[in-house]
Chain A
């Protein structure tokens, strides 16, 4: 193929590298999210995800128990324990006993404290303060240390978001919204599309123009009138309300896509069926519907992605409670309330984008076909 690169090897290299750069630019933000969602929360908050495979360095202050924790061992008064009691274990590289010199000693070196006591700290964090006399300090010795943590990956973030941050419940809510809202419009639109392509009646071309016009009507127009209508009719904030809303909003695209496809079916098939005495109903059910499968699949994928990813319609027509909050809504809420907890946010975000990504990669062919047919030409 004689494209922009032609037959010049140098240019071809430039093309390869440019495409690689584009691909990296486009995938790296998502990749960062994926990597981060499996990292340990403590590590995630202090080091970039691109360092996930290297060790992290932490500077921590630990306060040893006060004198009332001491025990007598062979004539010595001892306070012992491990400095990693409250945090993830690591390997200690340096420590100190004053904030001015937090890395004065290497592990294993005994350090003289005041009043004749001495402190030793091992690489693994075990410390031992011993004194020949009974210790009296009430606040406990502070131990400053630097520890190197090996990279840690965990499923804990996912366990946490699915079961205690409400993402699991929201996942079910999103499914509840999406499945009917994807399937119901298909049949309604298919009948309308058939009527608009193969049945003759006055006003047909006007209706087609109306559908094309409605394709671009902003959703924002519909929110307030429908909210008021729902309250008057008594639908309120319910799943039925949102299914119908998504059906209504999805119809213009559905009719447009399906009509483009159904109109393009071979004229001979439909006319010969008519000559044989088949009714429009029979032609639609037995010939048009089976032949239109690719277009139906394209629309179904569109509608699925759109409903699954929707935030606006769900926020307006569903409540904010545990029973109705969908994943996009929950994610938005977490962005506000858990803004700094990236381990929660990244895992939640990944749970919410996993299903669309799966659909995308398995059914991409139909999606592309739908896009090509659906953009107004």
Chain B
């Protein structure tokens, strides 16, 4: 309780400091360049040159320290040894290229990149289209969207319970194995099946992200001009043709946005793998591999190198986003 009060006090202090900074900074600026007296013209001009930077100041400092500086620092660290003291040249990179753990992570990450955005977008599109047509659509949407609020670790507990396995002679308490047994199959340790376990982990992320895709795509579908659909109906198009040939082509832009957003998320996926398998049974991914080298391997150089690989994979999407944003502006 005491701790919580401390947190509330810190929050108040933090907000107070911000208010004081912005209000005080603004007051000081007005004091230095008063908007009156003989120099009123130049003063207003000078104050207007400084004020934006006053407003941007804290944000710029935080962004620089927390996001920009680390990118360059990681680049430097990747040329240094475990405790970041000795220069090792390119040896972290040569190690990485030859490392079987890295190969496994890369392969799995590529699998995730292909399957998860495609599946989540696909299910999201289906869900958006279907729920827009029925009366209880909003309730259905809300329920499909719900996993979005659940943490990756919470979701891992939920799905680990679904995948649970008991020996063959007792009742299965995991839903999936219970179904398999009821259909006459043998129970499987789903998350320990090499290669296939990747897909069972992916299902968790698809389950979480479908709601996101659905919400965005549903808004896009509603934005389609009525006339285009009506014209198609008059021409005798059936519902599937309308969907595939009239609606989908008009929301390609939004589909691309959803796809790339989920792709970014997939590149960073970490919690699910850590909680479900911790990379065992051939299910390692880059983000967890990096974490592993950071905390268990205690090798900052190698870990930073792996982080850079993730960064490099993000860069194309980053450039694309910036170009799209500039087009709008």
Contact = CB atoms under 8 A, between A and B. Distances in A.
Interface stretch (B99-107, B109-117, B157-165): B157-165
A49 interface: yes
Contacts of A375: 216, 257-258, 261
Interface in A175-189: 175-177, 179-180, 183-184, 187-189
Given A4-B240, A377-B253, A353 B62 contact: no
A224 B310 CA distance: 14
A1 interface: yes
Contacts of B162: 29, 32
Interface of B: 1, 3-4, 6-8, 10-11, 14-15, 18-19, 22-23, 26, 30, 48-49, 51-53, 55-56, 58-60, 62-63, 65-71, 73-74, 77, 84, 123, 126-127, 129-134, 136-137, 140, 142-154, 156-162, 164, 170-175, 178, 207, 210-212, 215-216, 219, 229-230, 233, 239-240, 242-243, 253, 257-258, 260-261, 264, 267-268, 270-271, 274-275, 287, 290-291, 294-295, 300, 303-304, 306-308, 310-311, 314, 317-318, 321-322, 324-326, 328-329
A137 to B, nearest CB: 31
12 contacts: A2-B230, A32-B162, A172-B1, A175-B7, A191-B56, A221-B70, A244-B66, A252-B67, A332-B153, A342-B173, A349-B154, A352-B153
Q: Which of A29, A49, A219, A249 has the largest number of chain B CB atoms within 10 A?
A: A29
B146 to A, nearest CB: 7
Contacts of B264: 216, 218
Given A245-B66, A377-B324, A217 B7 contact: no
Nearest to B171: A47
Nearest to B258: A375
B26 A281 contact: yes
B56 A192 contact: yes
Given A26-B147, A184-B15, A328-B271, A216 B325 contact: no
B8 to A, nearest CB: 7
Interface in A15-36: 15-16, 18-20, 22-23, 26-30, 32-33, 36
Interface stretch (A68-76, A94-102, A139-147, A360-368): A360-368
B173 A48 contact: yes
B133 A372 contact: no
A309 B74 contact: no
Contacts of A287: none
A144 to B, nearest CB: 17
Contacts of A155: none
Nearest to B55: A195
Interface stretch (A107-115, A119-127, A199-207): A199-207
B321 A216 contact: yes
A224 B145 CA distance: 34
Interface residues of A, number: 122
Contacts of B212: 371
A112 B77 CA distance: 80
Interface of A: 1-6, 8, 11-12, 15-16, 18-20, 22-23, 26-30, 32-33, 36, 44-50, 172-173, 175-177, 179-180, 183-184, 187-189, 191-192, 194-196, 199-201, 204-205, 207-226, 228-229, 239-240, 243-245, 247-249, 251-252, 255, 279-281, 284, 305, 308-312, 315-316, 323, 328, 331-332, 335, 342, 345-346, 348-349, 352-353, 356-357, 359-361, 364, 368, 371-372, 375-377
Given A195-B56, A218-B310, A220-B307, A356 B150 contact: yes
A5 B59 contact: no
B315 to A, nearest CB: 9
B307 A342 contact: no
Contacts of A224: 70, 73-74, 77, 294, 300, 303-304, 307
Interface residues of B, dominant DSSP? helix
Contact of B7 (A176, A226, A376): A176
Contacts of A8: 239
Contact of A30 (B19, B73, B158): B158
Contact of A184 (B18, B148, B290): B18
Contacts of A11: 239
Nearest to A212: B325
A218 B59 contact: no
Given A26-B210, A342-B173, A213 B55 contact: no
Given A183-B11, A360-B149, A376 B257 contact: yes
Contacts of B268: 218-220
B204 to A, nearest CB: 9
B150 A353 contact: yes
Given A201-B49, A221-B307, A209 B322 contact: yes
Given A251-B59, A360-B149, A371-B215, A376 B325 contact: yes
B216 A199 contact: no
A357 B150 contact: yes
Contacts of A281: 22-23, 26, 51
B216 A15 contact: no
A191 B15 contact: no
B215 A360 contact: no
Contacts of B143: 23, 26-27
Contacts of A183: 11, 14-15
A372 B219 contact: yes
Nearest to B278: A336
Nearest to A339: B160
B5 to A, nearest CB: 10
A26 B173 contact: no
Contacts of A200: 52
Nearest to B317: A216
Contacts of B243: 4
Contacts of B147: 26, 30
Given A45-B173, A201-B49, A360 B10 contact: no
Nearest to B132: A3
B240 to A, nearest CB: 7
Contacts of B58: 188, 191-192
B314 A222 contact: no
Contact of A187 (B18, B51, B274, B295): B18
Given A29-B175, A179-B8, A199 B52 contact: yes
B154 A201 contact: no
